Amino acid sequence: MPAPIRLRELIRTIRTARTQAEEREMIQKECAAIRSSFREEDNTYRCRNVAKLLYMHMLGYPAHFGQLECLKLIASQKFTDKRIGYLGAMLLLDERQDVHLLMTNCIKNDLNHSTQYVQGLALCTLGCMGSSEMCRDLAGEVEKLLKTSNSYLRKKAALCAVHVIRKVPELMEMFLPATKNLLSEKNHGVLHTSVVLLTEMCERSPDMLSHFRKLVPQLVRILKNLIMSGYSPEHDVSGISDPFLQVRILRLLRILGRSDDDSSEAMNDILAQVATNTETSKNVGNAILYETVLTIMDIKSESGLRVLAINILGRFLLNNDKNIRYVALTSLLKTVQTDHNAVQRHRSTIVDCLKDLDVSIKRRAMELSFALVNGNNIRGMMKELLYFLDSCDPDFKADCASGVFLAAEKYAPSKRWHIDTIMRVLTTSGSYVRDDSVPNLIQLITNSVEMHAYTVQRLYKALLDDISQQPLVQVSSWCIGEYGDLLVSGQCEEEEPIQVTEDEVLDVLEGLLVSNLSTPVTRGYSLTAIMKLSTRFSSVNRIKKVVSIYGSSIDVELQQRAVEYNAMFKKYDHMRPALLERMPIMEKSSSNGPTEMVQTNGETEPSALESKHPPPVTQPTNQANDLLDLLGGNDVGPVIQTSMPTKQASSGGELLDLLGDLSLTGGPTSAPVSTGPPPLPGFLLDGLSSSQNLFNDISAAGIPSMTAYNKNGLKIEFTFERATPNPNIAVITIHASNTTDADMTEFVFQAAVPKTFQLQLLSPSSNVVPAMNQGTVTQVIRVLNPQKQQLRMRIKLTYSHKGSAVQDLAEASGRVVWEPDPEHGVETP
C-alpha cells in the first residue's frame, strides 16, 4: 500500500479542479483511499489522513467517518497526533454525537500530562466543546489546574472553568476557593481570563455578586496601573496598554456597581479618569471609551459623570468613522429611556444621521428618532421622518410607516395634521404600509367626526391620481362608502370643496372593481362601498346593476357579497337604510400596546389576523351576516362597550384588566382568560348549574331569568332566549331598574367574557335609568358559546347618581347552553 498522498499535494490537486463536478470526483477518490487506510489501522499515516479529511470537511464534504480516528489520534503518544486529533475532535465532533464521550478519559489523562502543551490542548478542547457530562466528570481536574502556578495553564483553566459553569451552573461553587488570589497575578493573560471568570460567576449568581463586591478596590487599582503604566511592547495597541483587559475590567465593574451605591462611588474617580484621558484618535481608544460610557450609564453614577458620558456619545455622533457613529446611536437608544432630556440635546445630529449612506446607521438613527419624538418636537421631527420615508430603502418603509403612525397617534397636535400625515404616508409609501394599519386608520378617521368631509375629499383626490397602492385604495374606498354624501354635497370647510357628481364617484369605485391592480380584498372593499352609497346617493339603479353583475363573479368572496347585497335590495329593502347607516364612533383600547379593535354595537371590525374581511355593515337582525362575524371574527377576547360618544376615555383598557382578574391562574392582565376554568364559588345561577334535567326544560321553556346585580338600588336582570338556528348563541336581554329616588344618568353597561366566548353588545334603549322603578333600560347581548362552557361574564356598571359618579364590578356565571332542538333535527354547524 503506497503512502497516502501528502496534505499539500491534495490541496494543490483539488485547487486545480476547474468545475465543481471535477472537485467532487477528486474528493470522492481521496475519501475512498482514506477510508481504506483507516480500515487498515495504519498508525503512521493516520494523522496525515485526518488532516486531509479536515481540509475536505472545510470545503463542505461529509467527514463523519473520521470521528473515531480522531479519538485514536488523541489517545496516541505523539504530540503531532494529539494536536491534529484534538483539532479534528473540535471540528468534527460535538456534544450531539455520543462518540464524544469516549474522549473523556483521554482528556482526563492529558490534563495530567507532563507536557504543558498537551495539557493545554486538552483544556482547549474541553473549553470549546465539552458537553455537560464531560464537564461534570472533569471539573475537578480543571479546578486543580486553576490553582497551579503555571500561568500558561492557569489562564486556560480559567476559561475552561467559564465553559464548565456555562454548561453546568451548579458547579460554580466548586471554583470559588480557587478564585481567591486570581487577581493578584501579574500575568495579563491570567488576569484577563480571571476577570472573565469572575464576570461569568457574578452574572449567574447574586450571591457571588455580593461576595465579589469586595474586589472593586482591587479592580480599580489594576485599571489605574494599566492607564498610568509606561509603554509595554507586548501589550501595547496603538499606545494604549492592554485594551482587552481594560475593557473587561470595566465590564466587571459595571456588573458589580449596578445596584450598589458604595461600589459605584468607589469607581467614580477611575471612570472619570478613563473617560477624560483616553486617546480617541484610534479605534482602540474609542472601544475603551465606549465601554466606559456603558458602565457609567449602568451604575449609580453621579449626574456629572452621566452628563460626561452622554457628551462622549454626542462627540461619537460627530465622528467621521462610521463604526463609531453606529455605536453611539446604539448606546443612545439604550439610554434614551432613562436620560431622555440629555439625549434630546443631540436630536439634530441624530436626525442628520438619517441621511447617512450606510444602511446600519440609517436604521439605528430611525429607531432613535422615533424614541425621541415627543409633544414638543413632533412637527419638526415628522417633517424629517416623512422625508426619510420618501427616500429610504423598501426594507425600512414598513417599519418607518408604522413608526410614523404610532408617533402621530400619540402626539398629533391637531386632527387635521394627523389626517394630513396619514395621507402623506399613504400616498408616498402606501404599498409598504402594514396590513393591520388599514383598520387602525379607518377607526381613526371615524373618530375625527369634524374632519370627515375633508378626509373623504382628500382621499378621493388621491384615488383619482393613483390606484396601485392597496392600503390607500382600501381606506379611500371605505371612506367614500361611508361619507360619499359629504363628498358630493361639497361641504368641506378645511379646504376648497371640489365638485363631484355621484356618477363620477361610482365610476371611480367601479373602476377599482375591474382594475387589474386591485387585490381581491380591495375589490371587496369597493363593492361594499358601492353598496353603502345606495342609501346615500340617489342613483340606486346603477348600484343595483353593479351588484347584480357581481352576483356571478368568479371570485367567491365577491360573489357572496354581491348575492347578499342583492338580497338586501330584493327581500330586505325595508331594512336597507338601517343596515347601511353611518357607523358610530369606535372606542379604542389603550394606545400603548398593539391596538386592538373593539367591538361596538352592531358591527365587528376585523382583527389584524383577519384583514381579508373588510368591516361588514350589518345590524343584528341580519342573522346570516352575524354568524359570519361571530364565527369568523377575532381571536382576541372581545372587549365590549356601548358607544356613548361622551365616553372617550380608554375604558377598553380597564375592561382588559377585568378579564385579567377573571383568570383563575392569576395570569397577565392584558390577555383574556384561558379556557376551562372550574366553576366560581358563590355564583348566582345555582339553579342552572346543578342539574342536567333543566336542559330538557330549557329547550322548551327557556332559561329562567336571573338577577345578575342588585346593589345600591340598581338591579340588573338577565333574560334568556335562544337564537335560532345556531344553538350556541344565547341572546341575553338585560333589564336595568332603579329603586332609588333619583335617576341614574349616563348609565353604561359593559361586559367581558373569557376567550372561548364571543360577545356582541347592542344599543341600549337609553342611558338614563329612571327612579322609583318608573322604567327600565334594556340592552341585548348575544353570546356565542361554541365550546358549550359555563358562561362567565364580568360586568362593569358606571352611572351618575345624585351628582356623583359610581362605578361597580360584578360577575355572573352559569350554564347557558342550548341542546340541539329536536324539532329542527340537525345542528347548525
Partner 1 sequence: MMHFLLLFNRQSRLRLQKWFMPVSERFKRKVIRDMTMMVVGRPARSCNFLQWRDLKIVYKRYASLYFCVGMESEDNELLTLEVLHRYVEMLDKYFGNVCELDLIFNFEKAYYILDEFLMGGEVLETSKIDIGVAIEDADVLQETLEEYMSKPTY
Paired strand residues for 717? 707, 735
For 333, the enclosing helix (H) or strand (E) is helix 322-335
Rule CB under 8 A: is residue 327 a binding residue for partner 1? yes
Closest separation in Å from C-beta 281 to partner 1: 14
Residue number, 155 or 306, with CB nearest to partner 1: 155
Distance CA(778)–CA(304), nearest Å, equals: 64
| Choice between 48 and 796, CB closer to partner 1 | 48
State yes or no: residue 772 binds partner 1 (CB under 8 A): no
155 forms part of the interface with partner 1 (CB under 8 A)? yes
153 scored as a contact of partner 1 (CB under 8 A): no
Q: How far is the CB of 789 from partner 1 (least distance, A)?
A: 39
Does 117 contact partner 1 by CB under 8 A?
yes
Spatial separation of the C-alpha atoms in residues 761 and 640, rounded to whole Å: 7
Identity of the residue, 163 or 588, whose beta carbon is nearer to partner 1 in the bound complex: 163
Cα–Cα dist 297/104, whole Å: 44
Which stretches within 515-583 are classed as H helix? Answer: 520-536, 540-549, 556-570, 576-579
Name residues contacting partner 1, limited to 335-364 (CB under 8 A).
357-361
**192-222 exposure pattern, b = at least 16 Cβ within 10 A, e = fewer:** bbbbbbbbbbbeebeebbeebbebbeebbeb
Bridge partners, 772 (sequence order): none
Residue 32 is a binding residue for partner 1 (CB under 8 A): no
Q: Taking CB under 8 A as the rule, which mask of x and - marks residues 725-764 in contact with partner 1?
A: ----------------------------------------
589 lies in the binding site for partner 1 (CB under 8 A): no
Q: How many CB atoms lie within 10 A of CB 186?
A: 7
Question: Cell for 410?
Answer: 400619540
Task: Assess 573 for contact with partner 1 (CB under 8 A).
Answer: no
- Residue numbers 4-23 binding partner 1 by CB under 8 A: 6-8, 11, 15
Residue 354 phi, psi (nearest 5): -60, -25
Q: Provide, rounded to whole angstroms, the least separation between the CB of residue 233 and partner 1.
A: 8
Give 166-169's long-range contacts (Cβ < 8 A, gap of 24+). Answer: 166/200, 167/130, 167/131, 167/132, 167/135, 168/132, 168/135, 168/136, 168/139, 169/204, 169/205
Closest distance to partner 1 from the beta carbon of 483 (Å): 44
- Which of 35, 72, 83, 147 binds partner 1 (CB under 8 A)? It is 83
Q: Which of residues 256-285 bind partner 1 (CB under 8 A)?
A: 283-284
Q: Minimal distance in Å, beta carbon 80 to partner 1?
A: 5
Of the residues 71, 160, 381, 509, which one makes contact with partner 1 according to CB under 8 A: 160
The pattern of x and - marking residues 180 through 199 that bind partner 1 according to CB under 8 A reads --------xx--xx--x---
Are the C-beta atoms of 279 and 243 separated by less than 8 Å?
Answer: no
- Asked if 432 touches partner 1 (CB under 8 A), the answer is no
* Separation of alpha carbons 137 and 165, rounded Å: 13
Report DSSP letters for 135-151, one per residue: HHHHHHHHHHHHT-S-H
Q: Please list, in sequence order, all residues whose beta carbon lies within 8 angstroms of the beta carbon of residue 804, skipping any fewer than 6 positions away.
A: none
Residue labelled with grid coordinates 360619499? 484
d(CA 252, CA 631): 56
**Rounded alpha-carbon distances, angstroms, from residue 224 to 103, 217, 219, 262, 366:** 44, 10, 9, 19, 38
| Nearest residue to 10 via CA among 43, 59, 44 | 59
Chain centroid offset of residue 756 CA:
24
Nearer to partner 1, 124 or 680 (CB): 124
Decide: helix, strand or coil at residue 493.
coil
Cell of 188: 495579563
CA distances from 693 to 466, 577, 648, 696 (A): 64, 44, 46, 6
Nearer to partner 1, 189 or 704 (CB): 189
Across the strands, what pairs with 738?
Answer: 714
Min dist CB 245 to partner 1, Å, is: 6
Q: How far apart are CA 415 and CA 444, in angstroms?
A: 10
Nearer to partner 1, 30 or 242 (CB): 242
Cell 362593569 belongs to 796
Closer to partner 1 by CB, 284 or 509: give it. Answer: 284
Binding residue for partner 1, selected from 110, 179, 274, 325, defined by CB under 8 A: 325
Among 38, 326, 388, 747, binds partner 1 (CB under 8 A): 326
288-307 residues in contact with partner 1 (CB under 8 A) are 290-291
- 127 Cα distance to chain centroid: 35
Minimum CB distance to partner 1 smaller for 316 or for 537: 316
Cα 76 to Cα 40, 72, 106, 138, distances in angstroms: 17, 6, 9, 20
Binding-residue total with partner 1 (CB under 8 A): 72
Q: By CB under 8 A, is residue 65 in contact with partner 1?
A: no
Considering beta carbons, is residue 322 or 582 the nearer one to partner 1? 322
User: Considering only 32-40, 54-62, 341-349, 589-597, which stretch makes contact with partner 1 by CB under 8 A?
Assistant: 54-62
- Report residue 370 as a C-alpha cell: 422615533
234 lies in the binding site for partner 1 (CB under 8 A)? yes
CB of 372 to partner 1, least distance (A): 20
Residue 576 CB burial class (10 angstroms; 0-12, 13-18, ≥19): middle
The set of residues, in sequence order, having a beta carbon less than 8 Å from that of 697 and lying 6+ positions away, is none
Name which of 287 and 630 has its Cβ closer to partner 1.
287
Contact flag: residue 287 with partner 1 (CB under 8 A): yes
In Å, the largest CA–CA distance within the chain is 113
User: Does residue 634 touch partner 1 according to CB under 8 A?
Assistant: no
Toward partner 1, which CB reaches closer, 50 or 797?
Answer: 50
Q: Which is nearer to partner 1, 129 or 810 (CB)?
A: 129
Q: Which is nearer to partner 1, 228 or 575 (CB)?
A: 228
CB of residue 674 vs partner 1: minimum separation in angstroms?
29
Does 134 sit near partner 1 (CB under 8 A)? no
Binding piece for partner 1, criterion CB under 8 A, among 53-61, 479-487, 548-556, 677-685: 53-61
The binding track of 194-233 with respect to partner 1, each residue x by CB under 8 A or -, is --x------------------------------------x
Shortest distance (Å) from residue 392 CB to partner 1:
16
Nearer to partner 1, 284 or 547 (CB): 284
Q: What share of the chain is helix, strand, coil (3-state, %, to 5)?
A: 60, 10, 30
149: left (phi over 0), alpha (psi -120 to 50) or beta: alpha
Which stretch in 28-36, 69-77, 235-243, 421-429 sits in contact with partner 1 by CB under 8 A?
Answer: 235-243
Q: Which stretch binds partner 1 (CB under 8 A): 125-133, 380-388, 505-513, 567-575?
A: 125-133
Q: Is 87 in the site for partner 1 (CB under 8 A)?
A: yes
Window 359 to 378, contacts with partner 1 (CB under 8 A): 359-361
Asked whether position 723 contacts partner 1 by CB under 8 A, the answer is no
CB of 162 to partner 1, least distance (A): 6
| Of residues 6 and 824, the one with the C-beta less far from partner 1 | 6
Give the nearest distance from C-beta 163 to partner 1 in angstroms: 5
User: Which of 37, 67, 119, 131 is close enough to bind partner 1 by CB under 8 A?
Assistant: 131
Output 286 or 518, the one with its CB closest to partner 1.
286
**Single residue of 27, 34, 47, 249 touching partner 1 by CB under 8 A:** 47
